[in-house]
Structure 1
């Protein structure tokens, strides 16, 4: 058991180190030797787990995908509030999680890595599904379509992801809250608007600034 646990720790350390370096320096300049040195792991141990830098990048994408799935699955309740909460949680995670940031970048650049998932596409499809449900339950205002809202939300999230990598203030609770506070009055009419919280309804949504 101790050997298995040590192997898991070594693998995770390599993935975390690779994500940090890919995010800081880009995929091409980073060598396996640099990754193993940052992780405190021998080159032999690295090659035992990952035969190539591309395989290591794919592991980053897979782990980032799992973390994105956790974010979207944590949101419960009415579809539009679920979406608000998930966007807050995504911004929070992108600020603190190098694996998630690197996974988004690597998965969307097929010129560098042939990733098994496109995480931006995964997020887009989840957003579209949430808004389809909101439209079917009658939450959206007259004349507002689920696809139009999805386009705006996906574009905003992509902007936060990209700009936040250079200026973490884009990941802030205030930024995401401001986006929803501006958008919600256009999306929802009547009493339903008062039931929605632009700042997020989950406790961990409001826990970061």
Structure 2
């Protein structure tokens, strides 16, 4: 049992070290030696757990997926005022916070956009799918503005979501969240009915103030 716990800790340390090095240097420039040094283990110990950089990158991406899934589970079902639109807005703050605070999530998104790395985990695709599902539900519930289709709304929200990576690195503190609030204040009234947009904005922003 002690040996298994030690192995699990070593693997965890390697995944985090790999995320840090990938985020700093990119997939191509990251080296096994740099990752093993960052984790405080030998290259031999690294190879005991992972075949190489590609398997480390996959572990980073899979860990990020689990983190995002756990966060989505906490957000709950699209019920209450604004329903799916409230969840959609809330999830954007969650993703922004993870990008700013979780190096594994940040590295995974960088890897998925790295042309030198053939990612097997489409993080952006997962976000697009989730946004599409929520906006389709909003459309069925009659929450979208007249003339706005769930498909058009999804394209707009996806563009916003992709920009969260840059927004997360604007500056430390609450500034990125405040910028996201201002963005939603402009975007949401364009895709939702006036009454629904107002209700969602009030509830979502009240939630952010209590964080």
Normalising by structure 2, we get a TM-score of 0.88
**Is there any run of 5+ residues in structure 1 with no aligned partner, and where?**
none
Question: Cα 1:140–1:192, aligned 2, differ >3 Å: closer, same or farther?
Answer: same
CA distance in 1, matches of 2:106, 2:202: 24
CA distance in 2, matches of 1:28, 1:179: 34
Corresponding residue number in structure 2 for 1:189: 193
**Is there any run of 5+ residues in structure 2 with no aligned partner, and where?**
none
Corresponding residue number in structure 2 for 1:161: 165
CA distance in 1, matches of 2:200, 2:194: 11
CA distance in 2, matches of 1:137, 1:98: 37
Pick the structure with more helix per residue: 2
SS of corresponding position for 1:41: coil
Q: Which runs of 4+ in 1 moved over 3 A?
A: 162-165, 168-171, 205-208
Question: Cα 1:199–1:23, aligned 2, differ >3 Å: closer, same or farther?
Answer: farther
Question: Cα 1:119–1:75, aligned 2, differ >3 Å: closer, same or farther?
Answer: same
Shift of 1:190: 4.5
Note if contact 1:79-1:134 (Cα within 8 Å) is conserved in structure 2: yes
Question: Cα 1:31–1:199, aligned 2, differ >3 Å: closer, same or farther?
Answer: farther
CA distance in 2, matches of 1:101, 1:69: 15
Normalising by structure 1, we get a TM-score of 0.89
Q: Deviations over 1:82-123 (max 9, x none)?
A: 0000000000110011110111121233x4233321101111
Number of residue pairs aligned between Structure 1 and Structure 2: 205
Q: Deviations over 1:26-46 (max 9, x none)?
A: 111111111011111121210
Q: Structure 2 matches for 1:108-147, cutoff 5 A?
A: 108-109=113-114, 111-147=115-151
SS of corresponding position for 1:15: helix
Corresponding residue number in structure 1 for 2:33: 33
